[in-house]
């Protein structure tokens, strides 16, 4: 048996074009990829296989989860994915049907690994090499970034909190709140959002140099050098990820570690030692388990016992590595060590790694000296008198580095001398200067690594000080404005009445000079302990903060990233942030009729049919229109004069989902759809005029009324903002109401509601209404396209040009369908191993970027095509052909009546814009292939360049050879409009 492996996921070849990921662990069923070896190579390059494997964990999944030949990674479920789930005992998953990502302004700073931050717009081009910080329920972690997106010209809003933290985002971007992820449009002042206050330092590029090489270990056993080289620790460069972890380990060990003859030991709290274990493992070495022992202590006559926790490493290579990086060997009090001499060569965020780890071990925890004022965190350090100068040098070096990082310190002082077994010992100390701005910078940029409780307390103090500073700044503004009004002649009483946020005494002191310096916070401002009791701090170091304003800031380009961690969030500016289809219209025109009119036709179509982001449609969607579209679908459009009767009989489900429930679509969603009725949108949505170049099955083509040289019109678009908003509405409700199910899934993007639950029924009804809206959207575009053709060719579009609908089929959709599946002894769907028979069962068939492909004879196929099979439309890129297929005879047994929905992307939109220039792509298509393209921007053309997609010929070949979609005809672009 042939096997292939991609990133640890093994596939077995069952037969030609069928590859299976065997069932293991908590997978309910196997997963299968329907692809040639060439397509499998492309599918294996992104995260498709992991997403497909994760989908098998959805409750009630029957038989294998499937990936069509055009598959590529999406969010949660791969695009091109098909999953059938028992409609009684399983679930329905919006994440497995499809939804979009949302966006932040380009200046939003994303927190990355190792305490770095970078503007999100500057992640372009290198996001795949980065790791973002993710606030999961049980802590904060690093996560690979798998996707990056940029969207032009979106309306954005600035959110500000009581602590002065701000971020700018689109209205549909979700933020973490006490009620789960909440979109900006649903936030209000006085709502709480969660912030991760640590912001680190700008991600400056480190100077590259060799820190250690083999010459530094010339006196050691060659075996030791070999161990280090095998783990890529020699040569050790200043830009290596391992070096950054070692900076922390050296810093902490200098404070709270020791060497024995054969071991390197670290001491601390168990949770902090786990973080140290993780970093030791990450550089390729093995730490011990966490040990504990009782230790007796006597300090100034005060005797007590406490538990000491530690870990160690028995690797001499690790020990020698730390020593050469600056960790003191022997008794520290008698040592000559100082700060490592290479530290001054490093960039700010690298120096902060060493300093914060040392402070995690040695600095006092944050505290208050008075109810509203903070104590200076301080570092004490002991050396025997003979090494006092070395101790002073070490401490002054720490102070110098802090000062260079913008953190002011108090003076170094000698606080005591004592007699110890080592002789006379000097204790030195310095502290962090206690003005608020300085403490905030220290806690949010350096802080304490490997010391969770200190870090937690420090960030809480920082948020308290930021809130206090906001209040003081506001009072200072009022005082200054009051003085200006008095200078202008306004009476004191009138000034007092103007400012109701302060009392009369405050105004009097502001006017008559009773105050020196900045004002103090008001008497009712909480002290730190009250603030601590009122404020939620979670294990992931996120802290609740009240929203004080939400302000529209106009339009700008916006950006988003997608992380691989199951929490699916990231930290930006301190904030924790996380249906389409296609139809073909045939005409009686031939290519010869259109030649010479291409430029006129593409201009007229582009002018007449709204495209791109935002509003604008073929009609203005009033309340009656929205209700009619959601409830009745294409039937409503035809009754309003936007179609003909045959449009109904040539559309999937006759253009109406009978189970649609418009009342379950939110007002917010209908408002978004109101001014988008009859619009293409953006991304890969398009209208393309094509010519039929090849016919492969004459009898089927005749039934479809297709012939070589004929002109057809392909329209690919969906339900626009209405469908996107509806999906997001239900995702948020599912996250809140079915958190237990969500926790059991390997990927939170697969959020699902249990079959039979109220939420599942409401979502299914709302989705049906959105499908109706998508059909109406394409119907209105068809209506406008008919009008354009009529004007350009001076003929009646129906009677003279024969512009009738061939077929309209949905892509991102979940449907209740009856399929034959394995059943167990109790008659319920079962795994193949447990099955005793096969029987028909009602399933939720999730098709995300896949096309229903029912064969001849199925009653769901329109009567006009029932004898030959349902038409299937598979668009290629705008520089390649598209295909018309029919539902294959094997589709019901192989793929739940499904096949591919397009060529499938090979590269992200971001990568496409790096590889291609829109103007060049457009010009090349016109010059070399006589294809005329018009779009809202060159970036859109670049994102959809022919080289961005898989080979549609290969996708269709696999479908045909598997018998799930038989080729009928091939078409080729004449002209194309895009958003």
139 is in an annotated binding site: no
Q: What are the residue ranges of helices labelled H in 381-451?
A: 388-404, 436-445
- Three-class HEC string of 217-264: HCCCCHHHHHHHHHCCCCCEECCCHHHHHHHHHHHHHHHHEEECCCCE
Reply yes or no on whether 452 is catalytic: no
716 is in an annotated binding site: yes
978 is in an annotated binding site: yes
Tell me the C-alpha distance between 622 and 641, whole Å: 16
601 Cα distance to chain centroid: 40
- Number of Cβ within 10 Å of residue 302's Cβ equals 7
878 is in an annotated binding site: yes
Tell me the C-alpha distance between 646 and 648, whole Å: 5
Query: Residue 525 is encoded by which pair of tokens?
Result: 């401002």
Task: Give the strand pairing for 116-119 and 201-202.
Answer: parallel
| 757: phi then psi, degrees, rounded to nearest 5 | -75, 160
Tell me the C-alpha distance between 345 and 325, whole Å: 14
591 Cα distance to chain centroid: 45
Task: Give the strand pairing for 139-161 and 166-170.
Answer: antiparallel
- DSSP SS3 for 359: helix
313 is in an annotated binding site: no
685 is in an annotated binding site: yes
875 is in an annotated binding site: yes
Tell me the C-alpha distance between 745 and 782, whole Å: 41
Backbone dihedral region of 862: left (phi > 0), alpha (psi from -120 to 50 degrees) or beta? Answer: beta
760 is in an annotated binding site: no
Nearest to 916 by CA among 946, 875, 882: 946
452 is in an annotated binding site: no
Query: Residue 51 is encoded by which pair of tokens?
Result: 């997403």
686 is in an annotated binding site: yes
729 is in an annotated binding site: no
Q: Is the peptide bond before 515 cis (omega within 30 degrees of 0)?
A: no
Marked catalytic residue, from 173, 244, 381, 901:
901
Q: For the purposes of burial, counting CB atoms within 10 Å of the CB of 497, is it exposed (0-12), middle (13-18) or buried (19 or more)?
A: exposed
Sequence-distant (≥ 6) Cβ neighbours of residue 679 within 8 angstroms: 609, 610, 611, 616, 617, 618, 717, 720, 777, 781
Nearest to 552 by CA among 157, 108, 160, 187: 157
Tell me the C-alpha distance between 248 and 114, whole Å: 10
- DSSP SS3 for 350: helix
Query: Residue 828 is encoded by which pair of tokens?
Result: 């319920």
Beta-ladder partners of 12: 3, 20
811 is in an annotated binding site: yes
Strand boundaries in 116-254, DSSP class E = 116-119, 131-136, 139-161, 166-170, 174-177, 180-183, 192-195, 201-202, 210-212, 236-237
113 is in an annotated binding site: no
Q: Return the exposure string of 498-536: e unless at least 16 CB atoms fall within 10 Å of the residue's CB, then b.
A: ebeebeeebbbebbeeeeeeebebeeebbebeebeeebe
Q: In this structure, are residues 486 and 498 in contact, taking their beta carbons and an 8 Å threshold?
A: no
901 is in an annotated binding site: yes
Angle at 731 between CA 172 and CA 772, to 5 degrees: 85
- Three-class HEC string of 931-977: CEEEECCHHHHHHCCHHHECCHHHHHHHHHHHCCEEEEEEEEEEEEE
Q: In this structure, are residues 852 and 653 in contact, taking their beta carbons and an 8 Å threshold?
A: no
903 is in an annotated binding site: yes
503 is in an annotated binding site: no
14 is in an annotated binding site: no
Residue where the block lists tokens 């991760």: 196
268 is in an annotated binding site: no
728 is in an annotated binding site: no
Sequence-distant (≥ 6) Cβ neighbours of residue 551 within 8 angstroms: 157, 158, 160
Sequence-distant (≥ 6) Cβ neighbours of residue 517 within 8 angstroms: none
Residue where the block lists tokens 């091939």: 970
Nearest to 635 by CA among 643, 623, 627: 643
Q: Which residues does the annotation place in the binding site for GMP?
A: 684-688, 811-812, 875-878, 882, 901-904, 978
Q: Which residues does the annotation place in the binding site for Mn(2+)?
A: 100, 685, 716, 811
Q: Which residues are catalytic?
A: 901
Q: Which residues does the annotation place in the binding site?
A: 100, 684-688, 716, 811-812, 875-878, 882, 901-904, 978
């Amino acid at each position: 048996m042939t096997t292939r492996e991609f990133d640890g996921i093994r596939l077995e070849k069952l037969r030609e074009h069928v590859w299976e990921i065997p069932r293991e662990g908590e997978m309910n069923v196997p997963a299968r990829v329907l692809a040639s070896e060439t397509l499998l190579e492309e599918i294996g390059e992104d995260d498709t296989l992991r997403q497909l494997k994760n989908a098998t964990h959805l409750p009630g999944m029957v038989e294998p989860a499937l990936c069509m030949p055009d598959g590529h990674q999406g969010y949660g479920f791969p695009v091109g994915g098909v999953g059938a789930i028992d409609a009684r005992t399983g679930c329905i998953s919006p994440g497995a049907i499809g939804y979009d990502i949302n966006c932040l302004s380009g200046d939003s700073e994303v927190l990355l690994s190792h305490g770095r931050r970078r503007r999100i717009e500057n992640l372009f081009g290198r996001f795949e090499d980065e790791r973002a910080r993710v606030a999961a329920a049980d802590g904060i972690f690093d996560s690979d970034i798998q996707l990056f997106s940029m969207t032009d010209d979106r309306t954005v809003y600035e959110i500000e909190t009581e602590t002065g933290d701000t971020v700018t985002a689109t209205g549909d971007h979700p933020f973490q709140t006490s009620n789960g992820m909440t979109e900006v449009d649903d936030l209000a002042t006085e709502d709480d959002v969660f912030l991760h206050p640590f912001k680190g330092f700008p991600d400056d590029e480190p100077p590259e140099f060799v820190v250690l090489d083999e010459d530094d270990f010339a006196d050691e056993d060659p075996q030791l050098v070999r161990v280090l080289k095998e783990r890529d620790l020699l040569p050790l460069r200043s830009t290596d990820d391992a070096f950054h972890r070692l900076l922390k380990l050296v810093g902490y060990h200098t404070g709270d570690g020791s060497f024995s003859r054969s071991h390197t030991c670290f001491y601390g709290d168990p949770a902090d030692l786990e973080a140290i274990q993780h970093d030791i493992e990450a550089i390729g070495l093995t730490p011990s388990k966490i040990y504990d022992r009782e230790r007796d202590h006597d300090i100034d006559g005060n005797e007590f016992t406490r538990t000491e926790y530690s870990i160690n490493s028995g690797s001499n290579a690790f020990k020698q590595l730390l020593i050469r990086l600056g960790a003191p060997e022997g008794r520290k009090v008698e040592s000559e060590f100082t700060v490592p001499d290479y530290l001054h060569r490093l960039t700010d965020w690298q120096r902060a790694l060493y300093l914060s780890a040392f402070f995690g071990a040695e600095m006092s925890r944050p505290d208050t000296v008075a109810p509203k004022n903070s104590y200076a965190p301080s570092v004490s350090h002991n050396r025997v008198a003979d090494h006092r100068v070395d101790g002073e040098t070490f401490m002054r070096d720490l102070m110098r580095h802090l000062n260079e990082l913008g953190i002011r310190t108090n003076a170094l002082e000698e606080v005591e001398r004592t007699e110890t077994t080592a002789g006379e010992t000097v204790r030195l100390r310095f502290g962090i200067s206690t003005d608020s701005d300085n403490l905030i910078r220290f806690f949010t940029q350096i802080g304490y690594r490997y010391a969770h409780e200190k870090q937690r307390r420090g960030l809480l103090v920082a948020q308290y000080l930021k809130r206090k500073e906001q209040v003081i700044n506001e009072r200072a503004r009022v005082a200054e404005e009051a003085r200006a009004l008095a200078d202008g002649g306004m009476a004191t009483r009138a000034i007092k009445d103007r400012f109701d946020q302060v009392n009369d005494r405050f105004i009097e002191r502001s006017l008559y000079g009773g105050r020196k310096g900045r004002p103090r916070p008001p008497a009712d401002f909480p002290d730190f302990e009250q603030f601590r009791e009122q404020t939620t701090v979670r294990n992931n170091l996120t802290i609740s903060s009240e929203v004080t304003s939400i302000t529209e800031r106009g339009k700008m380009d916006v950006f988003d990233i997608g992380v691989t961690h199951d929490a699916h969030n990231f930290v930006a500016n301190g904030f924790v942030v996380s249906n389409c289809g296609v139809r073909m219209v045939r005409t009686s025109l031939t290519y010869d009729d259109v030649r010479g009119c291409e430029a006129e036709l593409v201009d007229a179509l582009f002018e007449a049919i709204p495209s791109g982001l935002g509003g604008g449609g073929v009609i203005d969607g009033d309340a009656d229109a929205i209700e009619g579209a959601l409830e009745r679908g294409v039937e409503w459009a035809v009754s309003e004069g936007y179609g003909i009767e045959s449009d109904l009989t040539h559309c999937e489900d006759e253009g109406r989902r009978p189970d649609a429930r418009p009342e379950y679509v939110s007002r917010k969603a209908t408002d978004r759809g109101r001014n988008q009725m009859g619009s293409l949108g953006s991304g890969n949505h398009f209208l393309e005029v094509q010519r039929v170049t090849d016919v492969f099955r004459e009898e089927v083509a005749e039934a479809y009324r297709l012939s070589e040289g004929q002109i057809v019109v392909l329209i690919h678009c969906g339900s626009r903002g209405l469908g996107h908003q509806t999906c997001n509405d239900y995702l948020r409700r599912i996250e809140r109401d079915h958190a237990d199910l969500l926790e059991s899934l390997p990927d939170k993007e697969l959020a699902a509601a249990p079959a039979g639950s109220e939420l599942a029924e409401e979502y299914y009804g709302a989705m049906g209404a959105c499908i109706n809206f998508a059909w109406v959207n394409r119907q209105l575009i068809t209506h406008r396209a008919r009008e354009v053709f009529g004007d350009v060719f001076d003929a009646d579009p129906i009677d003279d040009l024969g512009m009738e609908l061939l077929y309209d089929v949905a892509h991102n959709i979940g449907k209740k369908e009856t399929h034959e599946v394995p059943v167990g002894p109790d008659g319920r769907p079962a795994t193949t191993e447990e099955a005793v028979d096969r029987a028909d069962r009602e399933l939720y068939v999730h098709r995300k970027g896949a096309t229903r492909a029912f064969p001849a004879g199925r009653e769901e196929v329109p009567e006009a095509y029932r004898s030959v099979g349902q038409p299937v439309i598979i668009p290629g890129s705008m520089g390649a052909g598209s295909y018309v297929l029919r539902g294959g005879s094997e589709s019901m047994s192989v793929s739940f009546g499904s096949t591919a929905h397009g060529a499938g992307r090979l590269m992200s939109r971001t990568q496409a814009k790096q590889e291609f220039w829109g103007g060049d792509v457009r010009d090349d298509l016109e010059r070399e292939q006589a294809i005329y393209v018009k779009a809202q921007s060159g970036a859109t053309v670049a994102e959809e360049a022919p080289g961005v997609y898989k080979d549609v010929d290969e996708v269709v070949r696999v479908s045909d050879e598997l018998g799930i979609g038989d080729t009928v005809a091939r078409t080729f672009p004449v002209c194309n409009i895009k958003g």
